[in-house]
Structure 1
Amino acid sequence: MKVTVNKVDEANVLVSGTIEQGVVEANIERLAVQAGKEMKVDGFRKGKVPPHVVKKLHGDKLIQDAEADALRDLIDTGIKEAGLNAADVLGQPTFKKYDKTDSGIEVEVEISTRPEFKAEGYMDVVPAFDKPTASDEEVDAKLTEIAAQQAPFEKIKRKRMVKDGDMTLIDFEGFVDGVAFDGGKAEKFNLKIGSNQFIPGFEEQIIGMKYEEEKTVTVTFPAEYQSADL
């Protein structure tokens, strides 16, 4: 297979070549042998269908697949000869020529590539800024915070009352004037007591509860709460 590569411009190359008829025929034979190992045809044991029978039954499909395989090989060869990687190729190739003759297939295909450019002068437009600094104490405090967030939870061995700082798993449902409101219900919700994740007064009333205990918690929604209805 002869392949020629010409650079059209900074972002495109033209790959030209000839796919010899012998290459296509070899691909047809290979594909027919592979298909014969998987096909089931009356009069033959499964997987023992001769290539000539496969060609007779699926000749057009074999030719199409054989030409497609040869075309992929030609394009891959062109990409390598152009010194490109697969990541450099943009989009799908554009066919400029695809002429079938008795001796083979004449092909010309244009491939778009990532353009080469040099970034210059960009530092002139970067505004000046002071590099932030942090004390050792601030770094240690942040690392401690991250470690606490990533620490695994372990179920306590003995059932005791909830204490401040505990991570709890709770089910809850909220009501206003005896009517449940949207977004006020959850099951198996992880709540760390003292995190102030809920509205004021909620977490404090969880302290002292026992395992599987049910309790009515009464709270007042703050005036600046996200839902005006509450």
Structure 2
Amino acid sequence: MNLQTKRINTANACVTATLLTKDMESKLNKIATKISKNIKLDGFRKGKVPLNVIKSRYKENIEQDAQKEAVQEILSEALKELNIEPKEIIGDPIITKFDKKENSIDLEIKISLNPDFKLDNVPECIPEVKLKKITEKEIEIRLEEVAKSKTPLIEAKKDKKLSKGNIANINFEGFIDNKAFEGGKAENFDLLIGSNQFMPGFEDALIGMKTGEEKEINVDFPQDYHSKDLAGKPATFKVKLNKIQVKETPKIDDNLVKSLLPQEKQPTLELLKEKIKEQLELESKTKIYNEELKGKVIENLDKSFKFDLPDLIIEQEMDLLFRNALNTIEEKELEILKSDTKKAQQKRETFREQAEKSVKITFIINALSKQEKISVEDNEVLQTIYYESMMNGQNPKDTIDYYQKNNLLPAMKMAMIEDKILSHLLDKKLNNSNQTPKPEKKAKKTKDKAE
């Protein structure tokens, strides 16, 4: 066996080898002998089947096993030469060349390795965290909203005009080209005006109606509407307003405070306001983290870290990005890519930079998760999917089954770990900036003694 190894960089290695046919023949005989001891064929006693019969009957399986054994031996020897521990390898080595000749087989195997880098400059990648100060007015507004949510609904007077914040009980039926469409009809449907639950323009058109009034509303379905049969089409809805429900004027009293702080021994309005302030601060921080700072952290990590990336992992990520893109492109372009291999390769290549960034960030996040001892349990992932599907009006079991069947749980878990780590890094930055440094003690002045 002629073996050559090459360490391309810290994350990639290549192995080339030539397997002689005579060496392979001995492996074939050994595997065939092992099979013959246990196999029983008609006309032969158990263990007495000739090797040539075994090799002929099970030729394909024997060759595959022999080749697999030979490749394992090559890899084992190559790792020794390269001084690589098996735990350093990422994924399975890929055979990129398997060229059968008359007396030999030429092999090329590529190996991906965990890249080597340090996390020393991570703190420099975390931007300053400046949180918005919660005002008394914001606390009062939230307190009123909470009180309002606890206040029962009452039916408005017949002459009241529907306005934002009211709940409209309506009958409606939708038509496209004067034909009713499936799913476009309901009776006694409660709609909170201003919730944007319906398509744009529908709720605004209801404002000003009175109880018992009927109206036709013309709106367009959004271009990205989930039903392709309706997306982008103009529709007419015939609507009848059955009744208007409004909230009573909320009362902020001891009963409300006690209902909102059931576990407190001495619930007070001041304590309730403090709790509301804490909630508003958390909401504000979460919004700033998600909309501004986490993206900056990712960009800074990408720019600050330079290390070798495993080529095979980048290629896999490019394949994934390319496949996902195929689901969103127009039918015409898709047909071109299917018929033109060169253009398909060019399209796939456009995802290289994105793939490299994604792979790099994944390695950094993995290293940080170990350093900071941050993890996400499998049950946390399932609970998150369950909760999100419930919020979106979907069947949680169906959603979880979809994630499992399409092997999406690992990606979901990785995204949750990344989110946890980014929040952790930003919290550390925030806490450090909030710590008031202790004043340095002034050195005592001493006078030089004059002799």
Greater shift in the superposed pair: 116-125 or 3-12: 116-125
**Pairs within 5 Å for 1:143-222:** none
Residue matched to 1:166:
none
Residue matched to 2:275:
none
What is the CA distance between 1:123 and its match in structure 2? Answer: 8.2
The superposition leaves residues 63-100 of structure 1 with CA deviations (integer Å, 9 ceiling, x where unpaired) of 22211211121122112211111111101222222111
The superposition leaves residues 108-166 of structure 1 with CA deviations (integer Å, 9 ceiling, x where unpaired) of 111001112244356889xxxxxxxxxxxxxxxxxxxxxxxxxxxxxxxxxxxxxxxxx
* Larger Rg over CA atoms: 1
| Partner SS, residue 91 of structure 1 | coil
| Partner SS, residue 109 of structure 2 | strand
Residue matched to 2:192:
none
Mapped to 1, the partners of 2:94 and 2:53 lie a distance apart of: 36
Mapped to 2, the partners of 1:8 and 1:98 lie a distance apart of: 20
Q: Does the Cα contact within 8 Å between 1:19 and 1:105 map onto a contact in 2?
A: yes
Structure 2 gap segments, 5+ residues each: 126-258, 264-451
Q: Does the Cα contact within 8 Å between 1:17 and 1:74 map onto a contact in 2?
A: yes
**Pairs within 5 Å for 1:6-155:** 6-120=6-120
Q: Does the Cα contact within 8 Å between 1:100 and 1:106 map onto a contact in 2?
A: yes
Mapped to 2, the partners of 1:124 and 1:95 lie a distance apart of: 41
The superposition leaves residues 198-225 of structure 1 with CA deviations (integer Å, 9 ceiling, x where unpaired) of xxxxxxxxxxxxxxxxxxxxxxxxx848
What is the CA distance between 1:56 and its match in structure 2? Answer: 2.1
Matching residue's letter, 1:115: P
Mapped to 1, the partners of 2:70 and 2:23 lie a distance apart of: 7
Mapped to 1, the partners of 2:28 and 2:77 lie a distance apart of: 20
| Partner SS, residue 39 of structure 1 | coil
What count of residue pairs does the alignment treat as equivalent? 130
The superposition leaves residues 164-210 of structure 1 with CA deviations (integer Å, 9 ceiling, x where unpaired) of xxxxxxxxxxxxxxxxxxxxxxxxxxxxxxxxxxxxxxxxxxxxxxx
Q: Does the Cα contact within 8 Å between 1:6 and 1:14 map onto a contact in 2?
A: yes
Mapped to 1, the partners of 2:52 and 2:95 lie a distance apart of: 32
What is the CA distance between 1:105 and its match in structure 2? Answer: 0.8
| Partner SS, residue 5 of structure 1 | strand
Matching residue's letter, 2:22: G
Mapped to 2, the partners of 1:53 and 1:96 lie a distance apart of: 33
Higher relative contact order (CA closer than 8 Å, sequence separation 6+): 1
**TM-score, structure 2 as length reference:** 0.27
Runs of at least 4 residues off by over 4 Å: 121-125
Q: Does the Cα contact within 8 Å between 1:23 and 1:70 map onto a contact in 2?
A: no
| Partner SS, residue 79 of structure 2 | helix
Matching residue's letter, 2:39: M
Residue matched to 1:218:
none
Structure with greater strand share of residues? 1
RMSD: 2.4
| Partner SS, residue 55 of structure 2 | helix
**TM-score, structure 1 as length reference:** 0.51
Mapped to 2, the partners of 1:97 and 1:44 lie a distance apart of: 40
Matching residue's letter, 1:63: E
Structure 1 gap segments, 5+ residues each: 126-222, 226-230
Mapped to 1, the partners of 2:119 and 2:2 lie a distance apart of: 37
| Partner SS, residue 73 of structure 2 | helix
